[in-house]
Chain A
Amino acid sequence: MDRDIGGIRCSEVLARLGDVLEGDLLEADRARITTHVAGCVECRRFGVRYADLVAALRTSDVPPAVAAALDARLRVR
């Protein structure tokens, strides 16, 4: 999987995913990546996975058993 679509290869899109998420791209790069992703289902799918992962970290909760133990510990005091 390393196709040239929109003047940029899948591997270059992969390398720039963090910058895409940050909005940290030059206009010309943004345009090429946007064109690539519009025409490449693999990069689109992986881009969503990458963004979902970062979102999960930033909104993570504790496992239910950990929440219950925390609640019990705070209650005892």
Chain B
Amino acid sequence: MHLAAGGDARAFETLVTRYRGRVYHVALAITGDESAAEDALQETFLAVHRNAATFGGVAFRAWLYTIARHAALRSRRRQVPVPVADETLEALGEAAGWGADDELDGATLRTRLAGAIAQLGAEDREVLALRDLEERTTHETAAALGLSLQATKSRLHRARLRLAAKLRGEHHGS
């Protein structure tokens, strides 16, 4: 990367390396589309670079994800709604491998993560983006979703189980 001279270039590169994964997956969670997420990722870091003065501030992460969300909304294409089935927790767990003896190694998990997120419904993607990718608190996530704490925790748990099921799906026909 040659965007800025010397130390600034290194600082920017460090920042990109540290945050690109979460920015990409947040954008993927918003768009549900890997190529739209890739566009949003690039737009986000170009915008970060244009506003380089704000690097590393206390509110940097919140600012970064705000940029990422706007970029993702701009690059979002028409979405096919995924109906959210009202399955029991046990059924969701079993699809996710609860009680099964198959393994999912870390490398495979990471390789398949983007594709699995893209297969989820918008509600699942949104709660995962807020709580697990942007690492907002449960309270902040609940406020952003307009849900109670309990409903937020329940939605998050179910979204994680559906994601685990998608990650497992290529071996087990989901």
Please report A residues at the B interface, Cβ cutoff 8 Å: 1-2, 10-11, 14-15, 17-19, 22, 42, 45-46, 49-50, 52-54, 56-63, 66-67, 69-71, 73-75, 77
Contact = CB atoms under 8 A, between A and B. Distances in A.
B25 interface: yes
Contacts of A59: 21
Contacts of A49: 96-97, 104, 164
| Tier of interface size on chain B | 35 or more
B42 A70 contact: yes
8 contacts: A1-B99, A45-B101, A56-B113, A57-B128, A58-B22, A63-B114, A69-B38, A69-B42
Contacts, number: 103
A71 B60 CA distance: 21
B110 A73 contact: no
Given A17-B157, A53-B164, A61 B110 contact: yes
Contacts of B49: 74, 77
